[in-house]
Amino acid sequence: MLIKNITANMVTTLVGMLAPLIVIPILTRDMGLGAYGIYMSIVALIGLFNVLSDFGLDMYISKVLSEIKKDSEDINFYVFFFIIFKVLISILSIIPVYLLLDPTLGVDERFLIVLIGFLFLSNLKPTCILNGLEMYTFQAKTELVGKIVMVILVFLLNFEENAILKALFAMSTSYFIVLLISYIKIYSLGYLKFNFYPICNFINVIKNSLDFYFARLFVNIYQKSSTYFVSIVLNSDAVALYSIAIQLYKVGQAIIGSISKVLYTSTIRSKKIKPIIIASLLCITVLFFLYPVVHFFGLEIISYLIPAANEILFEVSKLLYFSLMFVVLGSFWGYPVLASFNLEKYAHLGIIIGSLIYYFAFFTFWMLNSFTIYTAIICILITDAATAVIRLLICKWKISGLQVRYNEI
């Protein structure tokens, strides 16, 4: 069951992350690097508000739903709460998002409508609900449908005019298809009933999720919105190259994260860490043996996939590939291990310190007037390494408890 869930979640992630690699060459060719960089900075801006408005619900709801019975009325409450909360927070985000847009874009009514739609749709994706219910195979199929729609639209739309608007429309349509299918499925399972609940229930959910929120706030901001911050410092062409490198990095990061999510929900139930040890060794080994391919053939592969690629993109992509080894250790030996001991606060600590290191490095390079695409990537490498080391030290600190759990297998 564990292997099936990991495989399904990896397929979901691969579909979600590889589809952009199909559309990036088309968008960069038809839009130009500059317009693509602006488009990605807008997507990152929306991602920033998604992070700020999450309040830790993504991880908390996944954790709670994985612990309760599947026929419980509590599931309906969490689904109801998720929808109501996300709708309200999306409404409150409209004006701030509009004010932070580049004034040179010349936003008209059509652009604003598509942007607001994208904001709502990205906020309402019920990924945490489906993860908590362990519906990984269903997610894989749904994401595939959504990404096929996006690819088709990218091929059909003419990006010579209103390119940014049309790119946002294609992504919004993909999100809409995923949401429609997902909520129909949730409704068919009987988990989408609108009932009246005491206000104290809603307050308790927020209170319980805040630890996850504050622990992951800064790391989620830089992971999902670093392109927006980089766009403040670098020109749009450099932002485009940075966003493409980050997209490639996120393919690997998301695969690792998909494994980590399954390990997280399964370890909470089983209280066994042997699968985490095995997964760590396998992932590090795979990354190690694939590095020669990346080093010797990476430029040709990237140039084939993305015609706009150059030596700079290849070099920063190699740095990010190396960083993935730290991502494996930091991801697997954080929440999946420590949550099984009810020691989430220690997992929070690793993320908080690691993300603070990122911001320190970012602003140091900026203040020294040495901020380039290379230093932007180095900030991520330093952060991933620091987070992995901190979490491994925490696990070593608790090693006697971990050894007991290992021996219980």
Contact of 264 with 62, CB cutoff 8 Å: yes
Domain that holds residue 37: 2-407
- 18-32: pLDDT as tens digits: 677 778 888 887 788
Average pLDDT over residues 259-267: 78
The pLDDT, as a whole number, for residue 180 is 92
When pLDDT is cut at 50, 70 and 90, the band that residue 4 belongs to is: low
* pLDDT on residue 374: 92
Q: What is the pLDDT of residues 133-183, one digit of tens each?
A: 878 778 878 888 888 888 888 888 877 777 888 888 998 999 999 999 999
Tens-place pLDDT, residues 336-393: 887 777 777 777 777 788 888 888 998 898 888 888 899 999 999 998 999 899 888 8
**Number of domains the chain is built from:** 1
Work out the pLDDT band at 286, boundaries 50, 70, 90.
very high
192 and 157 Cβ atoms separated by less than 8 Å:
no
